[in-house]
Amino acid sequence: MIRLFAPGLFGTVMILFWFYAVLDVIATDTILARNMPKSTWVFVVLFFPFVGAFAWLVLGRPEYAGWRPGDTERRQPARRPVGLEDSDQWTHGRPPMAPAPRPLEHELDARERRRRERELGDDE
């Protein structure tokens, strides 16, 4: 039973694979086809069904296309450039190569002491 079912299953899968590749070639924008013009890819996939379908998926399909035929959206989210201010050192601590900031309380205490010293110095 399994011997008779396996070639039929394999053939069905290969025909579905070829059909998917044909639809994908036709639905893809002309500008996005890689390595050959889109019309050439259509002929390659139609006249060399399984080799052409595999070649289209590996060599001709847009690089980051989704899995729907003709899909032009990226499978992966676009990576944004990361600047110095986006690093963990910058946001979770102090900027690299910058002096350690003085705590606000120490700064205010020092100002208060200087003010009192000036006031005491003026009274005498």
Q: Say if 10 falls within a structural domain.
A: yes
Q: Which amino acid is at 86?
A: D
Residue 90, CA distances (Å) to 79, 84, 95, 102 in order: 20, 7, 4, 17
Distance from C-alpha of 22 to C-alpha of 69, rounded to nearest angstrom: 9
What's the number of domains the chain is made of?
1
Q: Say if 60 falls within a structural domain.
A: yes
For 14, the domain range is 2-67
Q: Say if 77 falls within a structural domain.
A: no
pLDDT tens digits for the chain (124 residues)? 455 555 678 888 888 989 989 988 888 888 888 888 888 989 999 999 889 999 988 888 877 776 666 666 665 666 667 676 666 666 555 555 555 656 777 788 888 899 888 888 766 5
